[in-house]
Amino acid sequence: MKRIAIACFLTIITFFNALSKDIYVSPKGNNQFPGTREKPIQSISLAKKMAYEYLKSGKDGKLTVWLADGIYSMAEPLVFEPLESSSSQAALLFKSLPGAKPIISGGMPISQWSKRKDGLWECHLPNLGKKGVRELFVNGKRAMRARFPNHDFLRVKKAGEDKRTNFYFEKGDFPIPSKASHVELVFMHDWSITRIGVKEIHSESDQLVALDQIGAKNLSFFTIDNWEAHPRYYLENSMEFMDLDFEWVYEPDSKKIVIKLPSKTNPSSLNIVIPISEGLISLVGKEESLIKNIQFDGITFQYAKWDIPASGYSGIQATFFDPRDEMQGWNVVPAAITAVWGDQLVFSNCMFKNLGGTAILLGAGCRRSKVSNSTFDDISGNGIMIGEGQERQKNGNAWFKSAPEQVASGNTIEHCIIKNCGSQYFCAVGIWAGLTAKTTIRNNEIFNLPYTGISIGWMWGTETTPCEENIIDGNHIHHIMNTLSDGGGIYMLGLQPRSILSNNHIHDVKKNAGSAESNGMFLDEGITDLRVENNLIYRIAKSPIRFHKATKNLVQANLLFCQDGNPPIRYNRTKEEEIQKVNNEVLVKGQIGYDEVLKMAIDQFSNQHKLAPKRGSSLQ
């Protein structure tokens, strides 16, 4: 360790002697080099340390760390603190070299495979610790943990007596696992899921018993059969379920991964990776000392780990979950990139993929920060989170009551592609904004999600919070609500005065299998003083717009295309006369001219509200 510290110190001294404003990093570099373009260092962590020392010296107010092509592996998150500098404009930029595709990776390649007599391949991982492996990726694609059924769901026959810990199944519904304790139950509630270990499976009585309660303990209505008498579920991680190529299981007793590969395929020819780092980047400011002016441009963030609590994950909404016995208050699936108490933090032209929790969180106290021109793909939790919920305490009271000025404010998400979120936690959303003010979500494309596209607000009822003046404008949201129910393209909750939903293009929202309908826009409890204007909404299985416990709002100049038998606006516990409707155009499927007008509207809307060209975009 002393030699490493001395080498780092000499590198920093050499760097200062060179008086360069740039630091160059390459996976092929050497940490004893000065960090010039010709002689780059290898470590991003060292580059961060050198940059902080340079900015602290006051030699210059701005510095760029240039990343060359290649993979920068991390076993734990890189932590950034507030910059110390005599310059009030001190700024640090981590940027890809022109043409380079640097990847900050929390993954570990798996290479020590041996072939078993049954034709499967296994790898022994004795140093992983107790929690094991939840995710595995082959050539950058998520491999399915062996499940039954492969692509559909089973149905509960009958809830157990306590309606919480066990249920009965139909005889022969699934192969009975030889090691029930290895199995995970994935259980669907209307708008959330539970992932929990199995304690016992009784083949004689056709009964499955979970390790703990199924559904959130602190909400009484999360019983097994509250929404449906025969809710959906499936099972994961049993050898008896492995019947497809690239399915795999983790055996905690022997600490082995077992995988099924196509015949004549050797794992040595594949890039097989498991996540090991619990997060990638942490930007940690303080209430009295914000972390400011740090930017990331053109970087891929890939592979990050999150393990569910030992007693299970019981989702409540948008990946917030029941704390069980391990934690207090509502908790949320953590992010690979986390920022708190930040100002003018920027992520631009980045890629976020194959992440085991949420991708990025601009959390408590963050302001004037931005995520732009970036792509999010295959995220286990939410894509992007802005702000926070109600949990944090300040001066013995909820923060939003005692210190409303601390609200996350003035943040922007624009020109991003967000797809395939909720890979593990199906109640995830593309973009979540909690109690936030002056948040702008503009010109993003959000699609292929199991639940809601954009969720904004986090107060059930009409209590006043600092949540206000939020703008959701020009987004293209489609093919969402693919698994769960009771959500929509845009879900809005709580008082958010002077907020606007405008110019959004929303379509292809499924009916789903749950008890509640889903909509183009679902405007929930407390919505007041909201303007909904110039939105195009079509191919919605139920009503394009739904209000629930809302009061006075304006709906004007929207194009609403309805299925037969569904009203354009549904009013749940909302007085219809309080919703002002002005110059909306409504067409019903089957009406003469419906298809022609819809095509014309799509063409016109797409031309007027073009998104920035992005990789993998799928307009229409």
For every residue of 298-343, DSSP letters joined together read S-EEEEE--PPPTT-EEEEETTEE--TTTSSS-EE--EEEEEESEE
Pick the closest to residue 237 from 226, 225, 227, 247 (CA basis).
247
pLDDT at res. 531:
98
Please compute the mean of the pLDDT values over residues 339-361 and round it to a whole number.
98
The angle, 0 to 180 degrees and rounded to 10, between the axes of the packed helices 2-18 and 44-57 is 50
pLDDT at res. 245:
98
Location of structure tokens 């905690």: 252
Angle at 153 between CA 476 and CA 239, to 5 degrees: 115
State the pLDDT confidence band at 609, using cuts at 50, 70 and 90.
low
Q: 169-201 burial string, b = 16+ CB within 10 Å, else e? A: beeebbeebeebebbbbbbbbbbbbbbbbbbeb
Pick the closest to residue 89 from 237, 265, 292 (CA basis).
292
Residue 577 pLDDT greater than 90, yes or no: yes
Q: Is 246 left (phi over 0), alpha (psi -120 to 50) or beta?
A: left
Residue 523, Cβ neighbours under 10 Å: how many? Answer: 29
CATH of region 307-620, choose from 2.60.40, 2.160.20, 3.40.50, 1.10.1760: 2.160.20
Q: Which two tokens stand for residue 451?
A: 């639940």
User: What are the domain boundaries of the chain?
Assistant: 1-104, 108-274, 307-620
Dist. CA 47–CA 44, nearest whole Å: 5
Pick the closest to residue 544 from 553, 536, 552 (CA basis).
536
State the pLDDT confidence band at 327, using cuts at 50, 70 and 90.
low
Length of the chain counted residue by residue: 620
Dist. CA 79–CA 60, nearest whole Å: 22
CB 353 within 8 A of CB 378: yes
Dist. CA 43–CA 367, nearest whole Å: 30
The residues, any chain, with a CB within 8 Å of residue 160's CB and separated by 6 or more, are 166, 167, 168, 207, 209, 224
Give the model confidence (pLDDT) of 382-426 as tens digits.
Answer: 999 999 999 999 999 999 999 999 999 999 999 999 999 999 999
Pick the closest to residue 304 from 277, 334, 281, 283 (CA basis).
277
Q: Which two tokens stand for residue 561?
A: 């295309």
Burial of 482 (0-12, 13-18, 19+ CB in 10 A): middle
pTM: 0.94
Dist. CA 93–CA 617, nearest whole Å: 28
The residues, any chain, with a CB within 8 Å of residue 183's CB and separated by 6 or more, are 177, 197, 198, 201, 235, 236, 237, 238
Give the model confidence (pLDDT) of 258-314 as tens digits.
Answer: 999 999 999 999 999 999 999 999 999 999 999 999 999 999 999 999 999 999 999
- What is the SS3 assignment for 12? helix
Q: What is the mean pLDDT of the chain?
A: 93
CB 106 within 8 A of CB 275: yes
pLDDT at res. 9:
44
Please compute the mean of the pLDDT values over residues 47-52 and round it to a whole number.
96
Give the model confidence (pLDDT) of 104-130 as tens digits.
Answer: 999 999 999 999 999 999 999 988 877
What single DSSP character describes residue 576? G
The string of DSSP codes covering 230-276 is: S-EEEEES-GGG--STT-EEEETTTTEEEE---TT--GGGS-EEEE-
Residue 15 pLDDT greater than 60, yes or no: no
- β-pairing verdict for 519-523 and 488-492: parallel
> Using omega within 30 degrees of 0 as the cis cutoff, is the peptide bond preceding 323 cis?
no
Dist. CA 256–CA 268, nearest whole Å: 17
Residue 339 pLDDT greater than 90, yes or no: yes
State the pLDDT confidence band at 61, using cuts at 50, 70 and 90.
confident
pLDDT at res. 84:
87
Location of structure tokens 């703008």: 471
Q: How many CA atoms lie within 13 A of 580 on its CB side?
A: 11
Give the model confidence (pLDDT) of 458-489 as tens digits.
Answer: 999 999 999 999 999 999 999 999 999 999 99
- What is the SS3 assignment for 352? strand
State the pLDDT confidence band at 2, using cuts at 50, 70 and 90.
very low
First to last CA, the chain: 57
The string of DSSP codes covering 508-547 is: EE---SSSS--EEEEE-TT--SEEEES-EEEEESS-SEEE
Residue 146 pLDDT greater than 70, yes or no: yes
State the pLDDT confidence band at 610, using cuts at 50, 70 and 90.
low
Q: Which two tokens stand for residue 511?
A: 């009916």
Location of structure tokens 């993003």: 444
Location of structure tokens 């999600």: 449
- What is the SS3 assignment for 205? coil
Q: How many Å is the Cα radius of gyration of the chain? A: 25
Dist. CA 258–CA 247, nearest whole Å: 9
Dist. CA 579–CA 553, nearest whole Å: 5
- β-pairing verdict for 300-304 and 351-355: parallel
Dist. CA 335–CA 261, nearest whole Å: 31
Give the model confidence (pLDDT) of 155-196 as tens digits.
Answer: 999 999 999 999 999 999 999 999 999 999 999 999 999 999
Residue 10 pLDDT greater than 50, yes or no: no
Q: Which two tokens stand for residue 279?
A: 């997060």
Residue 613 pLDDT greater than 70, yes or no: no
In degrees and rounded to multiples of 5, residue 115 shows phi and psi of -90, 135
- The sign of the dihedral angle between the CA atoms of 34, 35, 40, 43 is positive
CB 134 within 8 A of CB 310: no
State the pLDDT confidence band at 326, using cuts at 50, 70 and 90.
low
Angle at 359 between CA 354 and CA 362, to 5 degrees: 170
Dist. CA 277–CA 303, nearest whole Å: 8
State the pLDDT confidence band at 86, using cuts at 50, 70 and 90.
low
Residue type at 598 in one-letter notation:
L
Dist. CA 90–CA 104, nearest whole Å: 24
- The sign of the dihedral angle between the CA atoms of 134, 513, 501, 592 is positive
Residue 11 pLDDT greater than 90, yes or no: no
Dist. CA 70–CA 101, nearest whole Å: 7
What single DSSP character describes residue 404? G
Q: Is 505 left (phi over 0), alpha (psi -120 to 50) or beta?
A: beta
